[in-house]
A and B are shown apart, each in its own frame.
Chain A
């Protein structure tokens, strides 16, 4: 699974970082980023939770 954050949609709620700090980072201005190329299998469920909880619908799957 590969995911990305749309920087124009992200408003810094940091829900993704709260749910899965292994996958996401948030900078000092609240901008979130994905810190893994590929989401490891054991973190896929967490990544899906982050997608489902983002209030700005800013996290997207890439490919597949």
Chain B
């Protein structure tokens, strides 16, 4: 049974969970961009969907009118009650679901964990992890590049940074999918959020008496104005690092492998010319930007000819901005050597993805190791990738074969 009612008019009744949109939103954005260009829907509350680069980046910078207090494209459970009485954390998931001043200092606590210096220190473990995964299927001649590979990588790196056991990886992946990918199912959403908060609550209790060198322990030891941080803030930050660090990067890795599996000329080129990797990475991030974040309108405002009301949601459609022909030549083509690429895959303004250095490193190492082990591969005959969308778009199954 489809999860959504059919959409007949994308400008006035869009649905980001529509199966056709999830699989291929690009043509819909192109049409909206020239005809609309900010779509509206009343599904899951009054919500706006900008499609032009200029609009998306202007709204992302206008934090006075477009607040981050609600960032979930569909209600998240952990940060968003939306009238369903489900909010479980007083401060949501700072800094992502906050405005200054809370945003400013919580972000500063997280950023050093994702600095270039720290990320360089995670390269060896990421490479080893990728090599181990590849070894498990390279001789079989076939694999699910999304489920067996992409999905397995970021969650383990994040577990390492948080200082929790990588044996929890499958559970983490399940909870994050419940919260993000299946957030339109209130039961799954509540289950994922509940499990996640219960786990991190217990981890914090343990670390209060057994501090380590990890992010959770550092947050517990941090004082603001002479007092320890509120437990709900620490819990929200920990949950954020997991939620934001898992299926985002996994989706970027999966989409990149999907592109390479379906474009043998790019596959050959990237395997033969490793010097292309820096521009190729940015191009794959541009073309397949996985993440859409929401904002909430703080007071009635007219934007781009649209009368937005207090409490409306706006979807920061960074993926569509990245395909705006006003900014990118041949936006729907993947050009691995594109040098002019001011993309906003990691957002724009004060909420720029705090983990972008880590995500880039994981994507680079995952592709380098895949191409080293499997330089030639293709979508399995007759098979299709399946996609998830909403907050995060990427392939969930990607059956590939290789000689």
Contacts and interface: CB of A to CB of B under 8 A. Distances in A.
Interface of A: 11-15, 17-19, 26-30, 49, 52-56
Given A18-B278, A29-B111, A54 B342 contact: yes
Of the candidates B57, B108, B112, B357, the one having the most CB atoms from chain A within 10 angstroms of its own CB is B357
B3 interface: no
Contacts of B346: 13, 55
Nearest to A30: B111
Contacts of A27: 115
B357 A14 contact: yes
Contacts of A53: 282, 339-342
Interface in B354-383: 356-357, 360
Given A28-B111, A28-B115, A28-B117, A56 B348 contact: yes
15 contacts: A11-B348, A11-B350, A13-B356, A14-B356, A18-B360, A27-B115, A28-B117, A30-B115, A49-B339, A49-B340, A52-B340, A53-B340, A53-B342, A55-B344, A55-B352
Contacts of B112: 28-29
A17 to B, nearest CB: 7
B58 to A, nearest CB: 12
A53 B343 CA distance: 8
A13 B349 CA distance: 10
Given A53-B341, A55-B342, A55-B344, A11 B115 contact: no
B349 A29 contact: no
B116 interface: yes
A52 B260 CA distance: 27
Given A14-B116, A28-B112, A30-B115, A55 B348 contact: yes
Given A18-B278, A52-B342, A54-B342, A11 B116 contact: no
A17 B278 CA distance: 12
Shortest 4 CB-CB contacts between residues of A and residues of B: A11-B352, A28-B115, A28-B112, A29-B111
Nearest to B357: A14
A29 B118 CA distance: 11
A15 B282 CA distance: 9
Contacts of B282: 15, 53
B253 to A, nearest CB: 18
Nearest to B113: A28
Contacts of B356: 12-14
Interface string B91-110: 00000000000000000100
B352 A13 contact: yes
B339 to A, nearest CB: 6
Nearest to B344: A55
A11 B357 CA distance: 13
A26 B342 CA distance: 18
A58 to B, nearest CB: 11
A12 B111 CA distance: 10
A30 B119 CA distance: 12
A56 to B, nearest CB: 7
Contacts of B111: 12, 28-30
A19 B278 CA distance: 8
A21 to B, nearest CB: 9
Of the candidates B116, B117, B350, B360, the one having the most CB atoms from chain A within 10 angstroms of its own CB is B116
A6 to B, nearest CB: 14
A17 B116 contact: yes
A11 B342 contact: no
